[in-house]
Structure 1
Amino acid sequence: MGSVLKIEKLTHYFGGLRAVYDFNLDLPPHALWGLIGPNGAGKTTIFNLVTGIYNPTEGSINFLEHPITGKKPYQIVHMGIARTFQNLRIFNSLSVLDNIRIARHYTTQSSKHTHTRDENYTKQFSRTSLFDSLFRTSRYNLVEEQIKEEAYELLKIFKLEACMYDTAKNLPYGMLRKLEIARALATHPSLLLLDEPAAGMNPAEVGNLMELIHFIRDKFNLTILLIEHHMKVVMGICEYIKVIDFGETIAEGSPKEVANNPKVIEAYLGKGE
């Protein structure tokens, strides 16, 4: 297999403001890479371009060797890319379990955009028709039970099963962060984009999160691209790091190489007199 995600000469402007300029990325299978930079550097904009929230001004994005530039967010999800957000996007009024079930339902629906998925994935669930849903047929009940079982297994991985029937808005912030990752996994992605998953977590939760990211990468055979300001997380789990500032790549390499790069130090700490 070639690149999971290949980005070439990606550039984006908001009016006259340049947010991303000439950004390139060649993300190999099963990688766990980091994307870092000061606030406003353009990191989340890159995620928004990859996931179809914005259309790039210039450049191309390919996922599993299929062009996705200009596709809609729902098409990109069906192709196998999932993400979390800086600001939580949880269904607050629903239960923890239903947050997972909704995500799983979304990608069991028929879609012409699933050509990048594994064959076993597309055959795993029977699809239900409107008739099945209205009349609660045996096929509907079977699919519902399969989805519930899979959701429960995900909640167990994230140690959220004890609160599966609780309303999501009543969970502590750190648990909501984990719920959002679990919900992203429910779509069966090949590529997982994590946008500041450690934000708002205490030190114990951060340590647990680092172990969890490694675990889900291996268990689900994921490729992961991570945005994070928490340097312990980035330096502790990422194999390779790209650093951007004012929308441009200023450094890349191993955690050690990046940590000792003068341009990175200047971007974060400023230039000495």
Structure 2
Amino acid sequence: MPLAHLTLPAPAKLNRLLHIVGRRPDGYHELQTLFQFLDHGDTLHLRPRDDGEIRLTPSLPDVPDAANLIVRAARALQAESGCRLGADIHLEKRLPLGGGLGGGSSNAATTLLGLDRLWDLDLSLERLAALGLTLGADVPVFVHGHAAWAEGIGERLTPVALDTPWFVVVHPGVTVATPAVFGAPQLTRDTPPITMARALQGGAPGWRNDCEPTVRALYPAVADALAWLGERAPAMLTGTGACVFARLSREVEARGLLAEVPTHWLAFVARGLNRSPLHAALGR
């Protein structure tokens, strides 16, 4: 019997390391990064429609529905599969826009996997990941659902097992524009490539984000959050977004630090995960 509805998580990710090792002729940057999921994120509620329409509620501020990655993912899956069904999709949004937590990409991946199940398509993860890559470089890691070492523009993935500490994530209330970061003349673009084995041996103390100095310079609020958090625990920027995170060994330490975060910043505690909560929910 076809499913009547699905409720699925769209988890956040952190970049535990982010190196920019070059720039391609097409303008994209060559990266090396470590992706890890969090047990915190958005939630999508999906119901099938018989008329082929894709309807999203609520609309996001300043993001037309046609440009939302949820709608784009659903329509891409319709085109790829020839499916004539549609969907009502309700989004519970918790992750900040432009925060570097992969919210839009995660929403797209949850839409692809959720509708694949809801529409009874049974497409392979490889096919769904390839479709996701047409929507954004971070979508495939959410589709595959395992912590990963990533190269290229972030699409060449090798599953890894990372430590699973507790994180305090702070959003200082600004939206970082990724094109502004990657287009900044001062951005480091020539970090020497390293092997995955060396990256994993280096561990958290040696991990860094090459985008961090540029984001600090362009967005003083992010610099303030990094300075505040870094005085209390090892802190880093995630992705090219506004969110910064601190790594702690125990939940009680993370909860204690969360209680100290200034109230004008959004903050939360989450556990690092090597398997995506989306895949746990789907039972894949």
TM-score between both structures, scaled by the size of structure 1: 0.27
Larger CA Rg, structure 1 vs 2 = 1
Which has a greater percent of strand?
A: 2
Which has a greater percent of helix?
A: 1
